[in-house]
Structure 1
Amino acid sequence: MAMEIIPKSRYPGDPQGQAFAAGIQSGWVVQSINGMNVQNEDFGKIMDMLDDEVADPRFSKSTALALEKQGGRMAEPVEAPLSVVFSSIPGYTYKGAALTEDGQDGFAR
């Protein structure tokens, strides 16, 4: 689920502003990747298909250990270019804190 969307792209290709630039909204979920329905797939499998990982360096070692323990990737990355379709959950309202601009870190809760 898309949770904290940085409310503007700071520069072209900004990794923290790509979701906003693409029009993705907080509370949306990934419906399909390259035409494959992933709504009932494991989060780890979706992340592997996107060739993504948790960006927080505090989790790098634990992510590597968990990957080793489970026996490797849950799925191979899909071929580029990626086509990702999002959908909203009927009746769900995102209740997370709105991100506000912070002079030091960019954006904060």
Structure 2
Amino acid sequence: MLTKIVAGAVLAGSVLAALPASAETLFKIVTVKDDIIVGLNDAELKEFGGDAGGIAKAIAAKGSVTLWQYSVAQKDGERVVAPRLKTGVLANSSLRVEPYTQPFKVLPHE
């Protein structure tokens, strides 16, 4: 019995390792007025410093940045988080950037 459990765990681990990691990382940008979800691919994330703090610093330093806004959509009968449109984010003293997690598959942007 224990052998079957261990074998199942090893098989599950190898299947999960074979799945591609999402190249999109989501963040919530929060202002006094509203909040939006944005997605950055690995290259963009590296350019902005690799984390939420780096993105906030880049927005503050540049005054504005253009990012892909994401939202939940229905694709092929399943819910996904997909790029919606490119949006400009303006620096604001009350702007906050947070990592954002959700249960759906994240689709890449262009």
Q: TM-score normalised to the size of structure 1?
A: 0.24
Point out the structure with max Rg over C-alpha.
2
TM-score, normalised relative to structure 2: 0.24
